[in-house]
Structure 1
Amino acid sequence: HYNLSEVQELISIYEAQIEKNKSKLNLTASEDVKKHPFIVLEGLDGSGKTTLSKKLSSKLNAKKMSTPPSCLLTLREKFDTHPIALRRAYYALGNYIAAAEIEYLCHHTPVIVDRFWHSTAAYTIASEVGESMVLPPEGDPIYNWPIDLLRPDMVVFLSVGEYNRVARHTGRNTTNTPEERTLQDNSAFRNK
């Protein structure tokens, strides 16, 4: 897949963003301590993550972010048409790009993120188990946090009834990715 123009563009954006944020992180020893929290809001589409992240960011005077980060949004439609492995790579790299910026920002302000690694991992795991509905057992390495990815200080999972979730999601002008269609059409997948 490396020869695909969108894959090459994704890698170029990733490398540029990581380098940009590395140069910003050249901190003195006294600055090398994160001063503000990194909070992630998770939940299914339509659960209220975006609404709450806006309100919370305003209340805490925090930087609001979401994944995939804005620098990757022009590629989203292209990757959403590819096989699942490429889609997952796109979203995973988006988490790493966001993490590099979050690491810098937390030296200056709290950061609230609408989706992070948890969404990427949950969708990947649910896709892998497929129709079998059998999740890997507790303690399986698939649940381990990537050792090279910044960890949030707090994760809040938002849950809302399915009727309300669907009403919220369909009532807004938003994308209809393969992931969103699967959530809508497959209750077993939603509940994994």
Structure 2
Amino acid sequence: MNCPFVVFEGIDGAGKTEISALVAKKLNGMHLESPTGKFNELRKYVDDNLSDNGRFHFYLASSYDLSNKVKESKASNTSIVCARYIHSTIIGYASRQNIDIESVYESILGKLNDIEQPDLTIFLYVDQDNQRSRITSRNDNQNSKNDYMCLQNEDYQKRLSANYRYVAEKEGWRYIDTSSKTIEEVVSLCIKSINSIQLYHDGPCNKICVTAYH
């Protein structure tokens, strides 16, 4: 396999953004945040003003934008590690709307054949107590609407966690529970997982590109 495309998924507070930045530093790579460009400029407006259906289609479109960037990077023999991708958009939407995740999984993901698919997905999990502690310890500008929903709506939090576990099992994601591990331990496990799928690549990677997607 050539330089792989790796995605990090997981519930709010699991450490995806922080872990992705540290993995980038460890690998001497580039850390990006998505939505990028025009999508990033519109993000706050979309979150504050659009309905949930509108937000869903906005983030779905931003996933296509990220997919194009992944394709461009692959053409230059670049490895990509992306924190959050298309699954986060779908799982979050199904959880907020209280829609059966299995039907959403089949009906939406089955139609997205033109989205670049990862070679490996790592699922970061955190238990509810540690999730709450991590979210409340952040500054307000670091938290999203979904973060606050996890604190304020226990039914939503449980649906979100269950839906991530459902898709993780369905997709065969690599699982790491961050609840009682140090950040350094999680980063080390992530790098080992990434290295394990690079054993058979046929050439050196130019760089590691780590993307944080919200």
Please, what TM-score do these two structures have when normalized by structure 1? 0.70
Unaligned runs of 5+ residues in structure 2 are 160-214
2:149 to 182, 185, 191: 182
CA shift for structure 1 position 170: 2.4
1:78 to 35, 45, 56: 45
Residue 64 (1) aligns with residue 31 (2): yes
Larger radius of gyration: 1
Residue 170 (1) aligns with residue 131 (2): no
What is aligned with 1:117? 86
Unaligned runs of 5+ residues in structure 1 are 1-33
1:68-127 Cα distance to aligned partner (Å, 9 max, x none): 235422211110121111111111111111110111112332111111111101011113
1:109-149 Cα distance to aligned partner (Å, 9 max, x none): 2111111111101011113326xxx5446974345361111
1:156 to 122, 131, 137: 122
1:143-189 Cα distance to aligned partner (Å, 9 max, x none): 53611111111111111122222222222233444322222222222
Residue 54 (1) aligns with residue 15 (2): no
Which range moved further: 140-149 or 34-43? Answer: 140-149
Runs (4+) off by over 4 Å? none
Q: Is the 8 A contact 1:39 1:155 kept in 2?
A: yes
**Structural RMSD (CA):** 2.4
Which range moved further: 114-123 or 57-66? Answer: 57-66
What is aligned with 1:141? 107
CA shift for structure 1 position 54: 1.4
* 1:26-41 mapped onto 2 (5 Å cutoff): 35-41=2-8
CA shift for structure 1 position 50: 1.2
Count of aligned pairs? 156
Greater share of residues in strand = 2
Which range moved further: 60-69 or 90-99? Answer: 60-69
Q: Is the 8 A contact 2:7 2:85 kept in 1?
A: yes
Secondary structure of the residue that 1:146 maps to in structure 2?
coil
The 2-side partners of 1:123 and 1:67 are apart by 16
Question: Percent of aligned pairs with the same residue?
Answer: 26
The 2-side partners of 1:88 and 1:138 are apart by 13
